[in-house]
Amino acid sequence: MKILLGLLLAIVTVAWGMDVLATGGSSGGTLPWVIRQEALYLSGLLSIALMSLAMFLSTRPAWLETPLGGMDRVYRTHKWAGILAVSFAVVHWLVEEIVGDILKAMVGREGRIPKEQFTGFLEVMRDLAKDMGEWAFYLVLAMLVITLWKRFPYKTWRVVHQAMPVLYLMLALHAAMLAPTDYWTQPVGILIALLGAAGIYGALYSLVGRIGKARRASGTVTAIEQTAPDVLTVSCQLDNHWRGHRPGQFAFIIFDEKEGAHPFTIASADRGDRSISFQIKALGDYTRTLGKRLEVGHAVKVEGPYGRFDMARQDSNAQQIWIAGGIGVTPFLAWLDALQQTSSPVSADLHYCTRDRANDPFVARLEASCAALPGIHLHIHGAQQGETLSATDVVAAQAASRRSEIWFCGPQGLAEKLKHELGRIGQGRFSFHQEAFEMR
């Protein structure tokens, strides 16, 4: 993610710099006004470039899963591209409104960059693009605030977020119409055109409702079980459009078109019969009431599969350490289910962290699965029993002469704690794989 975003920022900055060198930058003004004008251009370029990337990534391009490491990381890149885009848009607005007023007060209007003159239809379109860009900026800024405000209801946020393609098209028009005319004879103009095309494709693809449709299968709910007060097991039978899945992958599920798609990890192995199951934890209004609204035979749509939390990606030369926290055990349930169907020996230490091991619905299933797999050594850590997992426990299980590969799925706080401690005492012998399962 960091490499892609950094590379995009660098390419845009270099293209802008090439234009400055080739044309001498904004001419006809004094240095303070020239600096202000070029800062305005650069911040605007960076903003629309990042927004174009975010809009394209919103189409869930499956071919990017391999280079980016999974659809979860595609979404994380989408999220941060959007955050950075709005941040540069704020800089763009500050340079336009605030810095301009400061310069007027300090050095006066003399020395300002002369505005390019246009007439007729082009002048009308530029005026329209300027107004549209300003209003779209305010709306996008408000959208960022409610996106980062986690207490804002997801259902309402999803509806509001659907306006983003329209806002992007408004901002794309603003960028294209107000860019200096000399840009279109320079590499920076080609870059704007390419990024704009990608963003417009993403916006239109979203507006016509095509996102995910090529990877969507229909089916019915075949079984529902309330395995714990806050955990619902849902099994589904899908039609021939389902392509199968690898253990550890996730899918977007639509139980109700009005609610839209929600991502859940697939908790079962692929048996070739297009049957899948999910372990759904009550984490919000939608999941808390789901059990009351579902019944056997309920129609369902499943989009996917996505993700790279996959046993096939493990390093066979490294010692395997699997760590699950709470509902993060779901991909490991699928892994264990898949291992029951193969004769290939797998050796790993599986650590499961739970609040109360005595009343946890997954403990018995984990114990039964691991009993049939002699290479999997299960460790249950119950917080109420004083058995919290620490990096020391992980290191103690590691062979001194081997590298270890950690596969983690669970709370972010636990992940950060373990990574920090392992970085301090692990002496670089650990590689850490974690699914960034956060779609908002």
pLDDT for res 427: 62
Q: Which of 26-40, 180-194, 422-436 has the highest mean pLDDT?
A: 180-194
CB-CB contact of 78 with 54 (8 Å): yes
**Does one domain contain both 295 and 377?**
no
**Does one domain contain both 291 and 186?**
no
Tokens 């992980």 -> residue? 394
Handedness of CA 353, 357, 359, 364 (dihedral sign): positive
User: Is 379 among the domain residues?
Assistant: yes
pTM, entire model: 0.90
**Does one domain contain both 200 and 272?**
no
Among candidate residues 286, 306, 326, the one where a domain is terminated: 306
User: Is 272 among the domain residues?
Assistant: yes
**Does one domain contain both 76 and 142?**
yes
Average pLDDT, the chain: 89
Q: Report the range of poorest mean pLDDT among 91-95, 262-266, 428-432.
A: 428-432
Local confidence band at 54 (pLDDT 50, 70, 90 cut-offs) = very high
Q: Which helix (H) or strand (E) holds 32?
A: helix 31-57
**Does one domain contain both 293 and 426?**
no
Among candidate residues 306, 334, 366, the one where a domain is terminated: 306
What is the arithmetic mean of pLDDT over 208-236?
A: 93
CATH number at residue 119: 1.20.120
**Does one domain contain both 18 and 165?**
yes
User: Is 166 among the domain residues?
Assistant: yes
Local confidence band at 259 (pLDDT 50, 70, 90 cut-offs) = confident
Tell me: pLDDT of 170 over 80.
yes
pLDDT for res 152: 79
Phi, psi for residue 27 in degrees, rounded to 5? -110, 160
Tell me: pLDDT of 439 over 70.
no
**Does one domain contain both 331 and 275?**
no
CATH number at residue 241: 2.40.30.10
Tell me: pLDDT of 397 over 80.
no
User: Is 337 among the domain residues?
Assistant: yes
User: Is 440 among the domain residues?
Assistant: no
Tokens 């999910």 -> residue? 278
User: Is 439 among the domain residues?
Assistant: no
User: Apex CA 322: angle with CA 265 and CA 394, to 5°?
Assistant: 145
CATH number at residue 328: 3.40.50.80
Number of domains in the chain: 3
Local confidence band at 294 (pLDDT 50, 70, 90 cut-offs) = very high
What is the arithmetic mean of pLDDT over 404-418?
A: 90
**Does one domain contain both 260 and 337?**
no
**Long-range contacts: 369-377, Cβ < 8 Å, 24+?**
369/333, 369/336, 369/337, 369/340, 370/336, 372/340, 373/336, 373/339, 373/340, 373/346, 375/345, 375/346, 375/347, 375/348, 376/336, 376/339, 376/346, 376/347, 376/348, 376/350, 377/348, 377/349, 377/350
Rounded to whole angstroms, how far apart are CA atoms 350 and 407?
9
Local confidence band at 401 (pLDDT 50, 70, 90 cut-offs) = low
**Does one domain contain both 38 and 53?**
yes
What is the arithmetic mean of pLDDT over 69-93?
A: 94
pLDDT for res 29: 72
Tell me: pLDDT of 197 over 90.
yes
CB-CB contact of 366 with 380 (8 Å): yes
User: Is 133 among the domain residues?
Assistant: yes
**Does one domain contain both 191 and 228?**
no
pLDDT for res 285: 77
pLDDT for res 362: 93
User: Is 292 among the domain residues?
Assistant: yes
Q: Which helix (H) or strand (E) holds 194?
A: helix 187-207
**Does one domain contain both 76 and 47?**
yes
pLDDT for res 284: 78
Rounded to whole angstroms, how far apart are CA atoms 66 and 68?
6
Percent of the chain residues topping a pLDDT of 70? 96
Q: Which domain holds residue 179?
A: 2-207
Among candidate residues 165, 191, 207, the one where a domain is terminated: 207
- For residue 34, CA distances in Å to 8, 30, 45 come to 25, 6, 17
Percent of the chain residues topping a pLDDT of 90? 58
Q: Which residue has the higher pLDDT, 289 or 151?
A: 289
**Does one domain contain both 296 and 398?**
no
pLDDT for res 392: 83
